[in-house]
Amino acid sequence: MTVASITTDINIGPFKIPSNGQNMIMNNYASRNKLTVELVIPEPMMSNALETVQWLHKENNLTKVIMCSFHQLPKDENRAKDLIKSMENVEFHFALEGISGKGKKFLLDSIKESKLFSQAMKIDSTKSSWSELFEMMKKNK
């Protein structure tokens, strides 16, 4: 049984989290969920294919992986299929979303939700006041 945490590029969906921050988030998640991380896997910069994880899964038989967010999953359909095919029986934990699960349906749903979230309107809060943001929220109800 091997539990691994996975760090990826600094750009994670709407977040910018450097690898040391990703490690802190995942270690905190592991501690709160009584998981012991045995392997830390750094993915290459600018990559969300998770090929390193898949390669190390073959060698280490990963049972659980912890990631900061489901936004780190592959967006490319072929890469997502490869991940699902090779890691369908691995339990995935997404620390920021606070969810975990395994199997094809769970991974496909997580990728779908990430894609949906990426289409949401982004608001630059540095260019708006709290009262303007509150008014915008009231209009969208």
**pTM of the entire predicted model:** 0.85
CA–CA distance from 137 to each of 118, 121, 141 (Å)? 19, 12, 7
Domain assignment of residue 34, given as a range: 2-139
What is the total count of domains within the chain? 1
Chain position carrying tokens 């896997």: 41
pLDDT in tens, 20-69: 999 999 999 999 999 999 999 999 887 778 999 999 999 999 999 999 99
Residues 70, 114: contact at Cβ < 8 Å?
yes
Sign of the four-CA dihedral 85, 6, 35, 60: positive
* E-strand stretches of 22-77: 39-42, 62-67
CATH code for position 12: 3.40.50.1390
CB atoms within 10 A of CB 120: 8
Instruction: Dig out the tokens for 121 from the structure.
Output: 């309107």
3 state DSSP class of 93? strand
**What tens digit of pLDDT does each residue of 80-101 get?**
999 999 999 999 999 999 999 9
End-to-end CA distance of the chain: 47
Confirm if 80 and 48 have CB atoms less than 8 A apart.
no
